[in-house]
């Protein structure tokens, strides 16, 4: 763009879509960031809403929230528990409740009304939420299960093996039910039924946790499932992470167990409580004879228990349940939504192998499982499915990178004829499925790929004129959602699947443009705190199913960066407040054990997964490519001190600030004395990572920035021929770093490369997700997943902030105010992006076409934007509604826009 001189005439078009009247509306009502949530545990739930108008420049000036115990009361304004009154405030997200004390279990109704610069809204529709049980006093239920390994082959050693438990409890409902609520936790995972119907579509519930500290339970309104007189509550219990997949290093906490409390309120005001206790029956001799997240599920239809989940079933052969010990952690209402089936795929091809097996191709590396819609089985002849991400050259499954994970689902028919089936307690990461045990060629429609991840909205779309970028975005999209399972995991396929911190340190920001991941990440930060050692060490895998206290810095940084992301992206300051003390403890611990002469010495993983010198290696052995651990630890620790300064300000811990700043400046001085070569303006051995971390994290002495940057560019262009040379650490800063110092063209070259090493090279080699290694096609399979997201670094942030110009203004959080300053790399002619922020959907689409420039922008209600374009474009001064201000500086023109739709044209 800088090469083309546009004369931009700015035409403002306000799309008066459906231009009936001038009504201002308030909608998208949320409590604790969810619509009508059940089981809220905070005593001060926070309210959010969005406002819209057909006219531009909509601003909230005041709001009024009302809360009552019933819809009728709220409508009439009677017995209000909270009437905020008219509060003169522009804020429309996360406003905390300050009314009368809320009671556990109760349902509350709320509405909001807003005064804007365009007039008042009507009262919003009425939404509701329910409160959780009181922590301990609320529970009368006991943990129950079957406290034995009672089937052949079962073991809690090595590769664990255990059948699912089936539990049942008949109960009567004497009257007409007004409200029935099920509070339930089944560890590791449960599926609950009332009278044969699932209580929800959630799968693999509840969310994972560090059980010795925290145990989550779910809350479901089951009123409609209860029938008059006799009822049956049935629960299937799987192993999940509680009865872990491996005895070591993954932990086995104990045998599965259930806690359930069904509270019924009748129309006459009387109540009943059905709880898990010794009156329940259990069997582990059901059809799910094994379920293990790494190894798969085995289903023996000959052992089916037809009707076990209905009242009429005869359970005389079942045992009385055992009372089990509590897992230990605090019982807490789950704050984040559970996993669900979020999409379905039909396979694209079936091939027959010479040995009679079939290979299904899903056309996409996905995470979930295969649902068999209809297959013709033979009695006693198992149908076996194995899962893999890639194929060998001979068309068989490539299983070498799965390590000890057996990834095998088996269904054994009880009779000849059609059957359908899907597993209950496992998932796989796969594109290809090998099917054996069939005597005929099945059809594509016999199978459905069920794609699973945490229930959340897709918030971002992104498309450009460049096909490589588009496919990278698509691969990222599949990779990110494929690795959300109550925690962000490293990978979904091999015998690992852990919440590795380092993989998400910066990635979490980019992900937050594409997915509404706020509740997932705030829950994961709690897992990190729950996994912290008494000394303050952070486990680089959290929840610490693998306990690894390295006392290094680069992986634990995700704890701090994640909290900052939630604040910046969603406006949620709670995580910073909640975790401030434990973050501080960690920083102190690191000073004690790792800091020598103001250099942080401990580091475990280096610049993990940088491209090695030879393509079959996993890690480079060449010292000139490796960045010193102390460089990584020290620069990142320095960034944490600066973050803590911001956090201290936010949380009122201002007395800590001087200490952080003093330490930071000593570290900067020591670091530069030790690693900075002032003559050549390079750090240590001059890796791109060493230089870019120093530059972006603010350690470069004033005046040397350009020279350090020049070294980065030279190294990238000359030594690596315009390719990436960094691993997981450097890549967190590379794209933004190159761009903010003025070389967006080099960033663009890196992202559009199709040769090694690059994201495009992965695509060139058939990737439909992002690889763990730049050389994932040639490296040792010992650590080579085809579905990791850590190498995305800051790429998605760059897509949104720099290519689309969707960026927070430095003074703003949650995009209340944007600074839209798209960059125009040579060769890119079109970018179309959208992001559903907490205030509403932001859109940016620009196009360069035959010498003209077009930019469509949408700014949601109650937010605003400053757009900044280079002066050389000769932008003419715009006028019109929604334009708040125009400023010209020496090099740029800045236009301040209120909410609305705008079309800019340059000629
Ligand atoms: C691998 C994981 C993860 C990484 C660690 C250090 O085993 O897959 O991606 O964070 O190592």
Which residue from 483, 489, 500, 731 has its CB within 8 A of the most atoms of ligand 1, so it is best to mutate? 500
**What atom in ligand 1 is closest to the CA of residue 540?**
10
Residues with CB under 6 A from ligand 1: 490-491, 496, 500, 502-503, 605, 608, 788, 790
What is the whole-number distance in angstroms between the Cα of residue 78 and the centre of ligand 1?
57
| Domain covering 340-454 in this structure, CATH number | 2.60.120.260
Distance between CA atoms of residues 841 and 169, nearest Å = 47
The pLDDT value recorded for residue 136 is: 77
**What atom in ligand 1 is closest to the CA of residue 501?**
10
Average pLDDT of the segment spanning 627-643: 98
Distance between CA atoms of residues 308 and 405, nearest Å = 32
How many whole angstroms from its chain centre is CA 774? 23
Which residue from 491, 499, 503, 732 has its CB within 8 A of the most atoms of ligand 1, so it is best to mutate? 503
DSSP conformational letter for 309: T
Q: Whose CA is nearest to atom 5 of ligand 1?
A: 500
Which residue from 497, 498, 502, 789 has its CB within 8 A of the most atoms of ligand 1, so it is best to mutate? 502
Please say whether the beta carbons of 55 and 20 come within 8 A. Answer: no
| Domain covering 460-803 in this structure, CATH number | 1.50.10.10
Beta strands, E only, 271-327: 271-275, 281-283, 288-292, 296-300, 319-320, 322-323
The pLDDT value recorded for residue 878 is: 63
Distance between CA atoms of residues 883 and 864, nearest Å = 10
Which residue from 250, 482, 490 has its CB within 8 A of the most atoms of ligand 1, so it is best to mutate? 490
Distance between CA atoms of residues 115 and 92, nearest Å = 11
Q: Is 769 left (phi over 0), alpha (psi -120 to 50) or beta?
A: beta
Which residue from 608, 731, 774, 784 has its CB within 8 A of the most atoms of ligand 1, so it is best to mutate? 608
Average pLDDT of the segment spanning 533-559: 98
What is the whole-number distance in angstroms between the Cα of residue 500 and the centre of ligand 1?
6
The pLDDT value recorded for residue 874 is: 65
What is the whole-number distance in angstroms between the Cα of residue 605 and the centre of ligand 1?
9
Neighbours of 136 (CB within 10 A): 8
Domains 340-454 and 460-803 share a fold: no
What is the whole-number distance in angstroms between the Cα of residue 181 and the centre of ligand 1?
41
φ, ψ for residue 522, nearest 5 deg: -70, -30
What is the whole-number distance in angstroms between the Cα of residue 159 and the centre of ligand 1?
21
Strand-pairing partners, residue 96, are 46
Which residue from 250, 404, 495, 496 has its CB within 8 A of the most atoms of ligand 1, so it is best to mutate? 496
DSSP assignment string, 416-441: SEEEEE--SS--EEEEEEEEES-SS-
Distance between CA atoms of residues 391 and 398, nearest Å = 5
DSSP conformational letter for 884: E
Q: Is 514 left (phi over 0), alpha (psi -120 to 50) or beta?
A: alpha
Claim: this prediction has a pTM higher than 0.85: yes
**What atom in ligand 1 is closest to the CA of residue 500?**
10
Nearest Cα neighbor of 260 from 302, 312, 222 is 222
Tens digits of per-residue pLDDT, 589-619?
Answer: 999 999 999 999 999 999 999 999 998 999 9
φ, ψ for residue 875, nearest 5 deg: -70, 130
Secondary-structure class of domain 25-130 per CATH: mainly beta
The pLDDT value recorded for residue 596 is: 98
pLDDT above 50 for 9: no
**What atom in ligand 1 is closest to the CA of residue 783?**
7
Average pLDDT of the segment spanning 767-774: 98
Return the C-alpha torsion angle 93, 456, 474, 766, nearest 10: 150
Distance between CA atoms of residues 711 and 705, nearest Å = 10
**What atom in ligand 1 is closest to the CA of residue 790?**
9
Q: Whose CA is nearest to atom 9 of ligand 1?
A: 490
Tens digits of per-residue pLDDT, 239-255?
Answer: 999 999 999 999 999 99
What is the whole-number distance in angstroms between the Cα of residue 540 and the centre of ligand 1?
9
What is the whole-number distance in angstroms between the Cα of residue 609 and the centre of ligand 1?
9
pLDDT above 90 for 866: yes
**What atom in ligand 1 is closest to the CA of residue 605?**
6
Distance between CA atoms of residues 53 and 301, nearest Å = 57
Please say whether the beta carbons of 796 and 461 come within 8 A. Answer: no
- Helices 629-651 and 688-696, axial angle in degrees (round to 10): 20
Strands 177-187, 864-870: pairing is unpaired
Q: Whose CA is nearest to atom 11 of ligand 1?
A: 500
Please say whether the beta carbons of 514 and 480 come within 8 A. Answer: yes
Distances from the Cα of 228 to the Cα of 181, 225, 312, angstroms: 16, 10, 15
Average pLDDT of the segment spanning 515-519: 98
> Where does the pLDDT of residue 18 fall: very low under 50, low under 70, confident under 90, or very high at 90 and above?
very low
> Where does the pLDDT of residue 21 fall: very low under 50, low under 70, confident under 90, or very high at 90 and above?
very low
Tens digits of per-residue pLDDT, 166-194?
Answer: 999 999 998 999 999 999 999 999 999 99
Distance between CA atoms of residues 585 and 587, nearest Å = 5
What is the whole-number distance in angstroms between the Cα of residue 791 and the centre of ligand 1?
11
The pLDDT value recorded for residue 318 is: 98
CATH architecture of 9-15+817-906: Sandwich (2.60)
DSSP conformational letter for 721: T
pLDDT above 50 for 6: no
Domain 135-336, CATH among 1.10.3720.10, 3.40.50.300, 2.60.120.260, 3.40.50.10860: 2.60.120.260
Lowest mean pLDDT among 117-126, 285-294, 564-573, 874-883: 874-883
Please say whether the beta carbons of 48 and 94 come within 8 A. Answer: yes
Nearest Cα neighbor of 203 from 255, 242, 232, 240 is 240
Distance between CA atoms of residues 670 and 689, nearest Å = 19
**What atom in ligand 1 is closest to the CA of residue 788?**
9
Neighbours of 864 (CB within 10 A): 24
What is the whole-number distance in angstroms between the Cα of residue 505 and the centre of ligand 1?
13
What is the whole-number distance in angstroms between the Cα of residue 468 and the centre of ligand 1?
26
What is the whole-number distance in angstroms between the Cα of residue 245 and the centre of ligand 1?
18
What is the whole-number distance in angstroms between the Cα of residue 397 and the centre of ligand 1?
24
Q: Judge residue 670's burial from the number of C-beta atoms within 10 Å of its C-beta, 0-12 exposed, 13-18 middle, 19 or more buried.
A: middle
The pLDDT value recorded for residue 877 is: 57
What is the whole-number distance in angstroms between the Cα of residue 541 and the centre of ligand 1?
9
Tens digits of per-residue pLDDT, 789-821?
Answer: 999 999 999 999 999 999 999 999 999 999 999
Tens digits of per-residue pLDDT, 120-143?
Answer: 999 999 999 999 999 878 999 999
Distance between CA atoms of residues 113 and 119, nearest Å = 11
Q: Whose CA is nearest to atom 8 of ligand 1?
A: 490
**What atom in ligand 1 is closest to the CA of residue 503?**
10
What is the whole-number distance in angstroms between the Cα of residue 490 and the centre of ligand 1?
6
Q: Whose CA is nearest to atom 2 of ligand 1?
A: 490
What is the whole-number distance in angstroms between the Cα of residue 573 and the centre of ligand 1?
29
Q: Whose CA is nearest to atom 6 of ligand 1?
A: 605
Residue ranges of domains in the chain? 9-15+817-906, 25-130, 135-336, 340-454, 460-803
The pLDDT value recorded for residue 17 is: 33
φ, ψ for residue 607, nearest 5 deg: -85, 75
The pLDDT value recorded for residue 852 is: 86
Tens digits of per-residue pLDDT, 675-720?
Answer: 999 999 999 999 999 999 999 999 999 999 999 999 999 999 999 9
Strands 817-820, 864-870: pairing is parallel
Please say whether the beta carbons of 488 and 826 come within 8 A. Answer: no
**Preceding amide of 249 cis, omega within 30:** yes
> Where does the pLDDT of residue 851 fall: very low under 50, low under 70, confident under 90, or very high at 90 and above?
confident
What is the whole-number distance in angstroms between the Cα of residue 415 and the centre of ligand 1?
45
Distance between CA atoms of residues 517 and 488, nearest Å = 10
**What atom in ligand 1 is closest to the CA of residue 772?**
9
Question: Nearest-5° angle of CA 173, CA 174, CA 178?
Answer: 70
Distance between CA atoms of residues 721 and 806, nearest Å = 30
What is the whole-number distance in angstroms between the Cα of residue 619 and the centre of ligand 1?
12
């Amino acid at each position: 763009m800088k090469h083309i001189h546009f004369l931009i005439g700015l035409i403002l078009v306000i799309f008066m879509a459906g231009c009936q009247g001038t009504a201002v509306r308030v909608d998208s009502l949320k409590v604790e960031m969810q619509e009508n949530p059940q089981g809220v545990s905070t005593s001060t739930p926070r309210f959010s809403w969005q406002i819209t108008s057909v006219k531009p420049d909509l601003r909230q000036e005041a709001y009024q929230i009302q809360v009552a115990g019933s819809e009728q009361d709220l409508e009439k304004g009677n017995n209000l528990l909270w009437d905020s009154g008219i509060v003169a405030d522009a804020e429309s997200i996360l406003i905390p409740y300050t009314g009368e004390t809320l009671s556990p279990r109760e349902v509350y109704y709320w509405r909001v009304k807003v005064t804007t610069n365009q007039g008042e809204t009507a009262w919003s529709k009425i939404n509701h939420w329910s409160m959780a049980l009181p922590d301990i006093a609320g529970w009368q239920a006991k943990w129950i299960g079957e406290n034995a390994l009672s089937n052949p082959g079962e073991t809690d050693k090595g590769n664990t093996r255990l059948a699912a438990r089936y539990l049942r409890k008949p109960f009567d409902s004497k009257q007409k039910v007004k409200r029935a609520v099920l509070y339930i936790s089944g560890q590791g995972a449960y599926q609950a039924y009332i009278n044969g119907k699932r209580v929800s579509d959630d799968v693999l519930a509840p969310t994972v946790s560090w059980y010795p500290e925290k145990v989550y339970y779910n809350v479901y309104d089951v009123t409609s499932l209860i029938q008059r007189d006799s009822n049956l509550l049935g629960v299937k219990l799987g192993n999940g992470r509680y009865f872990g997949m491996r005895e070591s290093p993954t932990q086995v906490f104990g045998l599965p167990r259930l806690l359930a409390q069904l509270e019924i309120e009748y129309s006459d005001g009387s109540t009943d409580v059905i709880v898990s206790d010794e009156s329940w029956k259990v069997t582990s001799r059901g059809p799910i004879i094994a379920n293990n997240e790494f190894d798969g599920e085995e289903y023996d239809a000959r052992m089916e228990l037809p009707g076990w989940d209905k009242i009429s079933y005869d359970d005389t052969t079942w045992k009385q349940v055992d009372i089990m010990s509590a897992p230990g952690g605090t019982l807490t209402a789950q704050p984040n939504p559970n996993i669900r089936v979020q999409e379905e795929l039909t396979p694209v091809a079936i091939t027959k192998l010479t040995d009679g097996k079939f290979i299904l191709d899903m056309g996409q590396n996905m995470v979930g499982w295969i649902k068999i819609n209809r297959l013709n089985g033979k009695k006693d002849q198992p149908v076996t499915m194995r899962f893999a991400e890639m194929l060998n050259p001979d068309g068989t499954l490539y299983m070498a990178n799965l390590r000890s994970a057996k990834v095998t689902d088996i269904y054994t028919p009880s009779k000849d004829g059609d059957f359908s089936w899907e597993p209950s307690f496992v998932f796989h990461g796969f594109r290809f499925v090998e099917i054996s045990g069939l005597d005929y060629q099945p059809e594509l429609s016999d199978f459905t790929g069920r794609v699973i991840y945490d229930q959340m909205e897709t918030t971002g779309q992104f498309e450009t004129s460049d096909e490589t970028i588009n496919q990278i975005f698509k691969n990222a999209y599949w990779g990110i959602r494929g690795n959300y399972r109550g925690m962000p995991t490293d990978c979904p396929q091999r015998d690992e699947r852990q919440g590795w911190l380092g993989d998400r340190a910066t990635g979490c920001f980019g992900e937050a443009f594409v997915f509404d991941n706020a509740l997932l990440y705030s829950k994961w930060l709690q897992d990190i705190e729950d996994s912290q050692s008494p000394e303050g060490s952070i486990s680089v895998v959290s929840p610490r199913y693998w306990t690894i206290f390295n006392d290094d810095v680069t992986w634990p940084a995700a704890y701090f960066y994640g909290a900052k992301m939630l604040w910046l992206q969603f406006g949620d300051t709670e995580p910073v407040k909640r975790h401030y003390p434990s973050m501080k403890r960690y920083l102190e611990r690191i000073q004690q054990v790792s800091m020598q002469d103001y250099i942080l010495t401990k580091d475990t993983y280096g610049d993990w997964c940088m491209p090695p010198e030879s393509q079959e290696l996993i890690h480079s052995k060449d010292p000139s490519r490796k960045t010193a651990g102390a460089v990584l630890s020290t620069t990142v620790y320095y960034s944490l001190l600066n973050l803590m300064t911001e956090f201290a300000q936010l949380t009122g811990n201002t007395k800590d600030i001087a200490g952080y700043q003093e330490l930071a400046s000593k570290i900067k001085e020591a670091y530069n004395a030790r690693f900075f070569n002032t003559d050549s303006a390079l750090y240590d051995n001059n890796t791109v990572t060493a230089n870019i971390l120093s530059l972006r994290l603010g350690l470069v002495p004033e005046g040397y920035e350009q020279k350090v940057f020049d070294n980065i560019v030279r190294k990238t262009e000359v030594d690596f021929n315009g390719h990436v040379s960094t691993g997981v650490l450097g890549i967190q800063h590379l794209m933004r770093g190159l761009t903010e110092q003025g070389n967006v063209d080099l960033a663009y070259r890196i992202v559009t490369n199709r040769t090694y090493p690059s994201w495009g090279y992965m695509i060139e080699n058939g990737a439909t997700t992002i690889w763990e290694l730049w050389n994932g096609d040639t490296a040792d399979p010992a650590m080579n997943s085809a579905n990791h997201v850590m190498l995305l670094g800051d790429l998605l942030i760059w897509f949104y902030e720099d290519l689309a110009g969707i960026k927070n203004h430095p003074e703003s959080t949650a995009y209340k105010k944007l600074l839209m300053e798209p960059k125009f790399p040579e060769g890119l002619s079109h970018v179309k992006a959208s992001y559903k922020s907490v205030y509403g959907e932001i859109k940016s689409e620009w196009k360069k076409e035959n010498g003209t420039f077009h930019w469509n922008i949408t700014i949601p209600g109650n937010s605003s934007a400053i757009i900044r374009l280079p002066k050389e474009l000769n932008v003419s001064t715009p006028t019109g509604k929604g334009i708040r201000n125009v400023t010209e500086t020496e090099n740029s023109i800045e236009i301040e826009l209120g909410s609305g739709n705008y079309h800019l044209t340059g000629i």
